[in-house]
Amino acid sequence: MLVSGRIFALGMLIALWIFIVGAMEMAKKKLPTFRKLSGLDALPEMVGRAAEMNRPIHYTTGLGELTGTVAPQLVAGLAVLGYVSELAAKYGVKVIYSVYQAQVMPIATELMKEAYMRAGKADAFNAEEQIRYLSGEQFAYATAVQGIAERERPAANIMIGPFYAESMMFSETFFRIGAIQLAGTARGYQIPFFAVVCDYLLIGEEIYAAGAYLSKDPVQCGSIQGQDIGKVIGWILMFVGVLATAAGSPIIINLLKT
C-alpha cells in the first residue's frame, strides 16, 4: 500500500507534524527559551544613538499582504515594531513607520499605542504623524520611503518583513544619509543586499524567531521549537551519514531512500 521510496518521507512528515503540534501545546504551558539574536541585541544601541542625535528612527515592513504566503514575515516585522516602539518611547525617540499595506494600519496603530502605554508615554504617541501609509504600489512606496530618508534624516533604519526589489534602494539610501541599519527578511534573493549594506542583520528564519520571541505567542514559539527538533534530526542524520559513508556503510543513505 505504501509507495516504496516515499516511506521515509511519509514517516518524517508525520514525525514533524507531531513535533510541531506537540511543541505548540507545550508552549501554551511554558514558552521555550530562545538563543541570543545578535540583530535584536543591537536595538537598544540604535535607539540610544537616535536619542543622542535627537533624530527619529525609521521602520518599515516591506511589501506583501497579511493574506498571502509572506504573511508570517509581515507578522514578525510587526512584532519587532512593537518592541522598538516601546524602547523608543522610553528614550523619547520618534518612530516613523512607513506602511505599504493599508490593512496593516489599524493593527500597527493599536500595537504602537500599547507599546507607548507600556513605556508610560501614551501622550507622546501621534498615530497620524508616526504611521504613514505611503502607497500600495511598490515603486511609489519605495520612492516615498527614500523621500522620508532624505528629508527627515533618521538616525536609524529598521527593515523587517518580506522585501522585494526595493531592498537595495532602501539600504543604499539610508546608508548614504548615515543611518545605522538593521535589516531582516526571509526572502532569499534580497538577503545579500541587506548583508552588503546594513550594519546588523537578521538572516532568513531569524526574523520568525525574533517575532516569536518578542511576541511571546505560543503558536509561533511552539512552531519554531517543533522545527528546531526537525533541524536537530536532520543534523544528526547528516552527521551520522557522513561518518557512515566514511566508514564505507551506506546505511543512512539507504534509510533515506526507503
Q: Is 30 in the site for other proteins (CB under 8 A)?
A: no
Among 42, 96, 148, 221, binds other proteins (CB under 8 A): 221
Among 40, 43, 79, 159, binds other proteins (CB under 8 A): 79
Q: Is 88 in the site for other proteins (CB under 8 A)?
A: no
| Distance separating alpha carbons of residues 122 and 37, to the nearest angstrom | 29
Burial pattern 236-248, b for ≥16 Cβ within 10 A else e, equals eeeeebeebeeee
Q: How far is the CB of 43 from other proteins (least distance, A)?
A: 15
Q: Is 182 in the site for other proteins (CB under 8 A)?
A: no
| Distance separating alpha carbons of residues 182 and 24, to the nearest angstrom | 29
**What is the grid cell recorded at 59?**
521602520
Q: How far is the CB of 53 from other proteins (least distance, A)?
A: 18
68 Rama class: left (phi>0) / alpha (psi -120 to 50) / beta: beta
Q: How far is the CB of 90 from other proteins (least distance, A)?
A: 15
Largest Cα span, the chain: 70
Among 130, 157, 171, 185, binds other proteins (CB under 8 A): 171
Q: How far is the CB of 186 from other proteins (least distance, A)?
A: 7
**What is the grid cell recorded at 153?**
534624516
216, with CB counted inside 10 A (0-12, 13-18, 19+), is exposed
Q: Which of 220, 222, 257 minimizes the C-alpha distance to 20?
A: 222
Site for other proteins in 135-164 (CB under 8 A): 136-137, 139-140, 143, 147
138 and 102 Cβ atoms separated by less than 8 Å: no
Q: How far is the CB of 83 from other proteins (least distance, A)?
A: 8
Q: Is 122 in the site for other proteins (CB under 8 A)?
A: no
| Distance separating alpha carbons of residues 43 and 57, to the nearest angstrom | 11
53 vs 66, beta carbon nearer other proteins: 66
Q: Which of 212, 192, 196, 213 minimizes the C-alpha distance to 204?
A: 192
Q: Is 217 in the site for other proteins (CB under 8 A)?
A: yes
* Binding range to other proteins, per CB under 8 A, among 40-48, 88-96, 120-128, 201-209: 201-209
* Binding range to other proteins, per CB under 8 A, among 54-62, 68-76, 91-99, 153-161: 68-76
Site for other proteins in 232-251 (CB under 8 A): 232, 234-235, 237-242, 244-246
122 vs 240, beta carbon nearer other proteins: 240
| Encoded amino acid at 204, one letter | G
Q: Is 191 in the site for other proteins (CB under 8 A)?
A: yes
Q: Is 209 in the site for other proteins (CB under 8 A)?
A: yes
**What is the grid cell recorded at 204?**
532568513
